[in-house]
Structure 1
């Protein structure tokens, strides 16, 4: 009965489940991942997991978000281009850190299940990335490189969308020259165009 007294609850239990999910993903991939295997690895039960996450995709997205390092600040590298190359490289590195098969699996679930689409949209809209982009643009405005600009939601999500699209065709890791092309040929011209009166 000692087990009942020391049973994990709340944040500790959630962390154990998300860690187990990530370990399962690394070991068997998204397609073969089961809630039962995650429960066993976490030392809990399927009903406990389903009370917190309604589907495998929800669980995997939560595990991925938990794996992302907390933002330690956005550097001011002296130019908008340098800051954007840093940002796109960071996004590409994170994309490479998440198994590509996992991304494909979650995206496939999103096509089949509207609630997964909603989950992904909500996660993207609340992601730290949007704050980092605003900070990079504010720095450029303060340096006089860019006129003040209103950033539509689509533009805030574009770095992630571009990196994901390139990763599909080139595979992670995204080559440095492709990162620079996304910045020089797409994102910088877009920001400058939006900043025009």
Structure 2
């Protein structure tokens, strides 16, 4: 077996950590099982991370980074919202489901919630909601004054709710219903 080093080893460790997390959950996640899955030893893990929490957070950030969702620019707010939710269905529904199913004890142990993990995954970048909202305002489709954090995040909050309730991708019909009956009337209403 070829000895892995550097980024090759790091990637293998993070992929193994994600696999352990999605199979065993946070409560069943152990450094010993991770080391065995990755074909290494626990001292190798401790040279990179101080504890289980850091490994889990790194694995989530890595899983998010390896499933990029490009923010579409279809030329319309409606088109952008539908396209981003459909792309998220294809690339990231497993991340949302994992946060629900496997991280309950992580949140209990760390005193954090999904919002902190979302911030970790964003890594300081603007969210898709912010980008889409800004573009729509620049095109004159919506009044920039309606772009409060709550209104611009609403379509994504409703999308996440659907995923968390079903643990499945959101149907195209449900996505269009969210956009057409709730979000567009809210964001495009006269001020």
TM-score of the two chains, using structure 2 as the length reference: 0.73
What is aligned with 2:86? 89
Work out the number of aligned pairs and report it.
Answer: 188
Question: In structure 2, the residue corresponding to 1:98 is in which secondary structure?
Answer: helix
Asked whether the 8 Å contact 1:21–1:59 carries over to 2, the reply is yes
Please identify, of 95-104 and 33-42, the stretch whose mean Cα deviation from structure 2 is larger. Answer: 95-104
Asked whether the 8 Å contact 2:20–2:29 carries over to 1, the reply is yes
Distance 1:135 1:13, change over 3 A: same
> Post-superposition shift, 1:155?
4.8
Question: In structure 1, the residue corresponding to 2:72 is in which secondary structure?
Answer: coil
Asked whether the 8 Å contact 1:88–1:179 carries over to 2, the reply is yes
Distance 1:35 1:71, change over 3 A: same
Give the Cα–Cα distance (whole angstroms) in 1 for the partners of residues 135 and 60 of structure 2.
29
Distance 1:94 1:53, change over 3 A: farther
What is aligned with 1:66? 62
Alpha-carbon RMSD: 3.4
Q: Give the 5 Å matches for 1:36-185.
A: 36-68=32-64, 69=66, 71=68, 73-98=70-95, 100-101=97-98, 103-114=100-111, 119-120=116-117, 122-123=119-120, 126=123, 128=125, 130=127, 132-149=128-145, 151-155=147-151, 157-185=153-181
| CA displacement 1:12-63 (0-9 Å, x = unmatched) | 332121021133345x332543221111222333244245445545433432
Asked whether the 8 Å contact 1:39–1:45 carries over to 2, the reply is yes
Please identify, of 134-143 and 171-180, the stretch whose mean Cα deviation from structure 2 is larger. Answer: 134-143
| CA displacement 1:117-162 (0-9 Å, x = unmatched) | 68425326636561x3233223222322112247444455544433
Give the Cα–Cα distance (whole angstroms) in 2 for the partners of residues 44 and 145 of structure 1.
54
Give the Cα–Cα distance (whole angstroms) in 2 for the partners of residues 134 and 89 of structure 1.
17
TM-score of the two chains, using structure 1 as the length reference: 0.71
Q: 1:29 aligns with which of 12, 24, 32?
A: 24
